[in-house]
Chain A
């Protein structure tokens, strides 16, 4: 009986502590990071979270924040679970964040309608809802530098180039292996359109969440269908398994192309030398040689203020996280310029994003010369449809394997407009854009 009393007392004590929300520090810019360091997708989530966190901490250490205002960083663990993500959002909302990174398509979809109401911009860097690239319908959502449809068209361009002209694709078969869910299904309409336009055949190989590590049947199908190329839209544990299985059926690895979320070091490393030749799209540089990353090393990692292991700094997904933070920092800087205020709000940062422009010179100034392509966001175009490049696994690390490839905007844009209009018509009562458009400063 006494144990029961003890249990009850514990429960009571916990109830008491639940409803306290701590006050926030004044005069700082609050940037929460929704990250996932736990759960089945942690392998991809940890390096991204580290990269995002470390770059912002570096700005705090080196420059005293952005424009002299400290950044208050808070991570909230989502475990890639939409419910937990929304809970994080509700909790963080009270502290007036200037921007939200959901880092999960499911969470992004849940937050899109809320953004305009709560006046907090959402940055879903190259994930989330492709249609939200339309700034006129989605003034609060930003998804630079490219959408999945852009990515797919770039991959096909690359394939066309390797085949000696995109018209050579006629009569060939292209396989598409994808994560069974919104993320992997999204590119299919475009793939079907392109197949019609260029006369190639497509074969679809879905991988459900339970079967991520058990893909032998899918790859047997690949072996039977003998596609000339394989395209992959994978995430988490699905990637390394797919690479291993591809090697197992002797699929030519240099004809196996993944999207930018299939290009982590941990995706190719388990297969090691067998994965040599495997290609993925990428939009950020790999390696720790960039001055800004060296600054992260000096100011954050070496001082033990990071959760990152030293040899992981500069890996692909880590640098992706850094890029994500650069976009936020630049948007905040822009907002400060436009408004002349230092402690900016979510509304200001939204304007900062709409005038975001990072030229090659600016990338260099940040200390990330040649790290990523020049990037520009406008009021109408919240994505920019920027180029990406192809990287290849050489057995131990990623190396750049192509020049920057631009997307086939003429094929992508009609789908995008249609999707955006459809979203808005289906969600009856979707607010018209009332936010004014700033001139780029």
Chain B
């Protein structure tokens, strides 16, 4: 009985007793969810357009953030006096670097491997991960670096709201992250709905062959989506970097994106966002209210459990295309 009480009643009592903490937990979950969704978004873009389950998204996050921070330091050393100017210059160059990376990936990996089974392309992205880890460490060194939050003009500090007999503290950087992520998602959605290249991309996602036959350049579409994924990675890198520091340990946040991705459905952009929010909020609530029953630290697998439960009901994810099998 006691266990049942602690599982089914006590956590809700706690929620009622300290509503400010509940709001805070939900907020933390929301922010984490948005960040997971960002990483998952990178996966989805690439999976949709090229059918590649891109494991390298995690390292692309690290690589983009490192490039930004490294270039910033370099520019300061070369005598760019204003930190702000250096930061935005570095940002611009990083975007160019991400474009170059997308182009190289298309040339060196996607084009020679076209029409291969999914698992082979999946493996190729592991090769890419190894390569980028080595390259990143060779160029920038393995030390953790601080994200250039101030120079980028990102806010610091927190807003504390007195409410419900306590307080809720909202980090300004988290608010910024949520805003930037929403802007990013909206603009990507618009881009894919309204522009010519976006329509081409959706055509490619539906069928490579049909798209090719109406004269859509696969190469161009691939470069564009990998570039878009690179930009998403850069944003993710800045946000995660600001929360802790920029180091190769950031690569493991990619594992947080996998349940999000699968929960939302591998091919759906709204899926990635809804999935991110479900996982983010679910995992924080789980850890905060039910974690202590198991001695805390359950976050590592709790997200997978949530995803698994959803999948058992909908095997193709929440927003995934229905899997129709024919003999």
Given A42-B142, A249-B169, the answer on whether A206 and B297 have CB atoms closer than 8 Å is yes
Interface segment, one of A215-223, A344-352, A417-425: A215-223
Kindly state whether residue B244 has any CB partner on chain A within 8 Å: yes
Contact between chains at A217 and B283 (CB < 8 Å): yes
A249 to B25, CA, bound (A): 12
Kindly state whether residue A269 has any CB partner on chain B within 8 Å: yes
Interface segment, one of A96-104, A240-248, A325-333, A381-389: A240-248
Kindly state whether residue A254 has any CB partner on chain B within 8 Å: no
Kindly state whether residue A289 has any CB partner on chain B within 8 Å: no
Contact between chains at A46 and B288 (CB < 8 Å): no
Contact between chains at A217 and B253 (CB < 8 Å): no
Contact between chains at B141 and A46 (CB < 8 Å): yes
Kindly state whether residue B106 has any CB partner on chain A within 8 Å: no
- A105 → chain B closest CB, angstroms: 18
| B297 partner, pick from A208, A224, A236, A248, beta carbons under 8 A | A208
Chain B positions 242-257 with a Cβ under 8 Å from a chain A Cβ: 243-245, 247-253, 255-256
A244 to B149, CA, bound (A): 14
| B146 partner, pick from A205, A211, A270, beta carbons under 8 A | A270
A208 to B283, CA, bound (A): 14
Contact between chains at B249 and A212 (CB < 8 Å): yes
Contact between chains at A208 and B169 (CB < 8 Å): no
Kindly list chain A residues whose C-beta atoms are within 8 Å of the C-beta of B32. Answer: 214, 216
- B134 → chain A closest CB, angstroms: 9
Kindly state whether residue B151 has any CB partner on chain A within 8 Å: no
| CB closest residue in chain B, given A224 | B21
| CB closest residue in chain A, given B171 | A248
Contact between chains at A237 and B297 (CB < 8 Å): no
| CB closest residue in chain A, given B144 | A43
A210 to B58, CA, bound (A): 13
Given A46-B143, A218-B296, A220-B288, the answer on whether A248 and B250 have CB atoms closer than 8 Å is no
- B143 → chain A closest CB, angstroms: 5
| CB closest residue in chain B, given A247 | B158
Contact between chains at A237 and B284 (CB < 8 Å): no
- B307 → chain A closest CB, angstroms: 15
| CB closest residue in chain A, given B156 | A274
- B288 → chain A closest CB, angstroms: 5
Kindly state whether residue B295 has any CB partner on chain A within 8 Å: yes
Chain A positions 122-180 with a Cβ under 8 Å from a chain B Cβ: 180
Would you call the interface of chain A mostly helix, strand, loop, or mixed?
Answer: helix
Kindly list chain B residues whose C-beta atoms are within 8 Å of the C-beta of A40. Answer: 247-249, 251-252
- A84 → chain B closest CB, angstroms: 14
| A217 partner, pick from B144, B251, B256, B291, beta carbons under 8 A | B291
A37 to B144, CA, bound (A): 11
| A250 partner, pick from B28, B169, B253, B288, beta carbons under 8 A | B169
Contact between chains at A237 and B249 (CB < 8 Å): yes
Kindly list chain A residues whose C-beta atoms are within 8 Å of the C-beta of B244. Answer: 213, 237, 240-241, 244, 270
| CB closest residue in chain B, given A41 | B249
Contact between chains at A221 and B288 (CB < 8 Å): yes
Kindly state whether residue A38 has any CB partner on chain B within 8 Å: yes
Given A42-B248, A217-B291, the answer on whether A205 and B296 have CB atoms closer than 8 Å is yes
Given A204-B296, A223-B24, A237-B244, the answer on whether A213 and B144 have CB atoms closer than 8 Å is no
Given A42-B247, A206-B295, A210-B255, the answer on whether A217 and B169 have CB atoms closer than 8 Å is no
Query: Interface readout for B170-198 with A: 1 if CB under 8 Å, 0 if not?
Result: 01000000000000000000000000000
Chain B positions 7-59 with a Cβ under 8 Å from a chain A Cβ: 18, 21, 24-25, 28, 31-32
Kindly list chain B residues whose C-beta atoms are within 8 Å of the C-beta of A214. Answer: 32, 253, 256, 299
Contact between chains at B248 and A39 (CB < 8 Å): yes
Kindly list chain A residues whose C-beta atoms are within 8 Å of the C-beta of B299. Answer: 208, 211, 214, 217
A-B contact pairs, 8 of them (CB 8 A): A37-B142, A41-B249, A210-B255, A216-B284, A217-B284, A218-B296, A220-B21, A237-B247
**B interface residue numbers (CB < 8 A to A):** 18, 21, 24-25, 28, 31-32, 137, 141-144, 146-147, 158, 169, 171, 240, 243-245, 247-253, 255-256, 283-284, 287-288, 291-292, 295-297, 299-300
Of all A-B residue pairs in the complex, the 9 with the closest CB atoms, nearest first, are A42-B142, A237-B249, A40-B249, A206-B297, A217-B287, A241-B244, A43-B144, A213-B244, A270-B245
